[in-house]
Amino acid sequence: MTKRTFENRLNNLDPKSWIKFQKSWFLHNPPPRKKKVLRHPAKFPETLAQEFIEFFTKQHQIVLDPMVGTGSTLVAALRSKRHSYGIELNPIYASIAKTVVNEERKNLGENYSDLYAEVILGNAADFVEFIHRYDIPEIDYVLTSPPYWDMLRVKGAMTQRRRRESQEIDVHYSDDPDDLGNIDDYDEFLEALSEIYASIKVHLKKKAYLTIIVKNVKKGGTIYPLAWDLARELSKIYKLKDERIWVQDNQRLAPYGMGNAWVSNTFHHYCLQFRNE
């Protein structure tokens, strides 16, 4: 019997690397952040972004992050030899992202000079308008992490207290009324976030993937299942294919509810995979 030749239509990985990525949970403890990007309160690591980009695309395909922050996705795309676009509402973060991307391009050298990594200052809700303004080609893959509702404005949170004390990390994204992190009504936030991701569909290639890194949140003693609610809402527009659970095991434990009530230390995120079918 002739052994079937492995044909990879999705990415440039070998079979062993492909199978390794299919594990439903994974440990990833990010390296220390560089000082210039330290102020962003919810940056996700380039090393993690690169793993997802290299699984869901081939070299020289196009990656989009509609909430790019300080540029993690664009840096990871460059390292993976992919083109990329990122949209960022906060002008300070957008400026940092441009600097970081330019430095990364310089460090990578001439073999990466043909790649573009465009930082767009603006509101992700205007994505359809940006398609024409920036002549954006069809997107092969979307990787992004949204604000976790208005949790950065919850003053009682221990993490927020530490941020205020250190003064190195912003305690919230911005005061811009268009910033989703400033919406205090959960249902309104969920609807606005879902509409942004839905608007991308018109320019996402057929059978292309959308990965959203998100977690459920706790507020006022109640858990709000943001990851699950977002999965439900976007399943009306895209096909929900799977989830991967990102686990961090290097975080400091806090004695929440000690001797009184169950309150977990939440050190995992949901990486939701949707496909445009």
Q: What are phi and psi of 143, to 5 degrees?
A: -130, 125
Please state the domain count of the chain: 1
Residue 150 predicted with pLDDT over 80: no
pLDDT given at position 91: 92
CATH of the domain at 259: 3.40.50.150
* Structural domain range at position 204: 38-275
Q: Find the mean pLDDT for residues 141-157.
A: 76
Ordered alpha helix ranges (H), 117-182: 127-133, 158-166
Residue 24 predicted with pLDDT over 50: yes
For the stretch 156-197, pLDDT in tens is 555 545 545 555 555 444 576 778 878 889 999 999 999 999
- Top-confidence residue, 176 or 145: 145
In a domain, 132, yes or no: yes
- The pTM score is 0.88
Q: What are phi and psi of 132, to 5 degrees?
A: -80, -40
In a domain, 104, yes or no: yes
Position 40 confidence tier, pLDDT thresholds 50, 70, 90: very low
Q: Find the mean pLDDT for residues 252-257.
A: 88
In a domain, 107, yes or no: yes
In a domain, 7, yes or no: no
pLDDT given at position 121: 97
Mean pLDDT score of the chain, rounded to an integer?
87
In a domain, 192, yes or no: yes
What gap in Å lies between CA 79 and CA 77, rounded to an integer?
5
Residue 214 predicted with pLDDT over 80: yes
- Top-confidence residue, 4 or 160: 4
Q: What are phi and psi of 187, to 5 degrees?
A: -65, -35
pLDDT given at position 25: 96
In a domain, 33, yes or no: no
In a domain, 199, yes or no: yes
pLDDT given at position 178: 73
What gap in Å lies between CA 212 and CA 237, rounded to an integer?
14
Asked if 210 contacts 276 with a C-beta cutoff of 8 angstroms, the reply is yes
In a domain, 1, yes or no: no
